[in-house]
């Protein structure tokens, strides 16, 4: 599993312990928060916002200047939109304008405030020349693979050591195109299929406050954004367990596991499956599929990422990562 150790409530480090075969990974740290400002929303397009502030001047292309996203906004004002994140797709100097990949939620109005975070990239996390020491070869079949969910399956990336695809970050099936600047999801999880166990050190900034994530029907890969771990070496009482995660506030519960959303935790060979029981023979509280009689409130969420199987319509979930 991925194991995180954070040494500061503001800036710290994570040790990503990758097991041989599959590890699920998410980032409780972000590279840097670059700007905080109030904003107004375009009356004709809620994807467009205008930053406000004396002396604030953006430049064309300042955030996410190319075809790949490099930055995201987080709404930090209190209210229904607090913790919503949106990727930035364009920056214009005129009007200090940002265009976002998705609309600002309806409950957010003019005068709200946001933060702009830079996104991790493959090169940031693993090094432009594979400084992290992932297993590298001329083919993806011989290399460690980084699996990023794309909605239908996974895009697979690896560090190519040469041969037909050249040297550098490559996408399986993507030819010689350089993938070093591919962004990693700000609230989502991913998987690494490692050929051998290894540890990666990552330094970044703690993201305070709760975070909202969108769940689609089916499987969703969700990062554990709490900057301290709830189990293992250096475990903290502030770490996230099922009982203090708040997940039951956004997930569908049920009197049987077949009626409820499932939280899937990788155990090294498969998934332990949990759901929030709303009554019946299992009573009320977190339960494990196959063990309806025992409370699972003290089960720690993994330090990297986990999967939520959403049975119903798409919804929004608030991740409670604690107060830091």
pLDDT tens-digit readout, 119-145: 999 999 999 999 999 999 999 999 999
Residue 34, pLDDT above cutoff 70: yes
List the alpha helices (DSSP H) in 20-167.
Answer: 122-126
235-239 average pLDDT score: 89
The pLDDT value given to residue 8: 40
DSSP secondary-structure letter at 51?
A: E
Share of the chain above pLDDT 90, in %: 74
172-199 average pLDDT score: 94
Delimit the domains of the chain by residue range. 33-118, 122-183, 208-319
User: What span, in angstroms and rounded, lies between the C-alpha atoms of 10 and 171?
Assistant: 34
Query: Higher confidence at residue 159 or residue 18?
Result: 159
Domain 33-118 class? mainly beta
Residue 107, pLDDT above cutoff 80: yes
Share of the chain above pLDDT 70, in %: 97
Full DSSP string of 172-229: TT-TT---TTPBPPSSB-EEEEESS-EEEEEEEEE--S-EEEEE-SEEEEEE---SS-
**DSSP three-state, residue 24:** strand
Residue 3, pLDDT above cutoff 60: no
User: What span, in angstroms and rounded, lies between the C-alpha atoms of 21 and 247?
Assistant: 28
233-240 average pLDDT score: 87
282-289 average pLDDT score: 96
Which residue from 307, 181, 306, 300 is spatially nearest to 244, judged by alpha carbons?
A: 300
The pLDDT value given to residue 4: 38
DSSP secondary-structure letter at 76?
A: -
200-217 average pLDDT score: 90
What the block records as the tokens of 34 is: 């670059």
pLDDT tens-digit readout, 53-67: 989 999 999 998 889
Residue 292, pLDDT above cutoff 50: yes
What the block records as the tokens of 35 is: 């700007």
pLDDT tens-digit readout, 221-234: 999 998 888 888 78
| Helical (H) or strand (E) element with 167 | strand 167-171
30-48 average pLDDT score: 96
pLDDT tens-digit readout, 159-185: 999 999 999 999 999 999 999 999 998
**2: confidence class by pLDDT, cuts 50, 70, 90:** very low
The pLDDT value given to residue 5: 39
């Amino acid at each position: 599993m991925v194991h995180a150790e954070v040494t500061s409530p503001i800036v710290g480090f994570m040790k990503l312990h990758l097991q041989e075969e599959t590890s699920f990974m998410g980032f409780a740290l972000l590279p840097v928060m670059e700007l905080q400002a109030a904003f107004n929303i375009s009356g004709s397009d809620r994807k467009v916002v205008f930053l406000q502030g004396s002396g604030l001047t953006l430049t064309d292309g300042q955030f996410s200047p190319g075809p790949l996203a490099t930055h995201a906004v987080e709404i930090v004002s209190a209210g229904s939109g607090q913790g919503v994140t949106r990727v930035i797709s364009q920056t214009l100097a005129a009007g200090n304008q940002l265009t976002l990949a998705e609309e600002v939620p309806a409950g957010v109005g003019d005068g709200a405030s946001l933060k702009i975070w830079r996104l991790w990239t493959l090169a940031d996390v693993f090094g432009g020349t594979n400084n992290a020491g992932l297993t590298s070869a001329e083919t993806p079949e011989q290399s460690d693979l980084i699996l990023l969910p794309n909605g239908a399956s996974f895009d697979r990336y690896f560090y190519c050591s040469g041969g037909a695809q050249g040297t550098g970050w490559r996408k399986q099936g993507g030819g010689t195109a350089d993938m070093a600047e591919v962004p990693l999801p700000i609230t989502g999880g991913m998987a690494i299929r490692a050929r051998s166990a290894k540890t990666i050190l990552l330094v970044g900034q703690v993201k305070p406050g709760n975070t909202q994530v969108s769940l689609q029907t089916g499987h969703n890969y969700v990062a554990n954004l709490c900057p301290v771990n709830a189990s293992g070496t250096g475990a903290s009482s502030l770490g996230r367990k099922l009982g203090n995660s708040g997940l039951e506030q956004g997930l569908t519960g049920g009197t049987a596991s077949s009626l409820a959303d499932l939280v899937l935790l990788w155990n090294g060979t498969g998934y332990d499956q949990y759901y929030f029981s709303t009554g019946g023979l299992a009573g009320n509280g977190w339960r494990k599929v196959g063990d309806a009689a025992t409370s699972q409130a003290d089960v720690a969420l993994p330090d990297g990422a986990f999967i939520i199987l959403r049975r119903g319509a798409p919804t929004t979930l608030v991740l409670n990562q604690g107060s830091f």
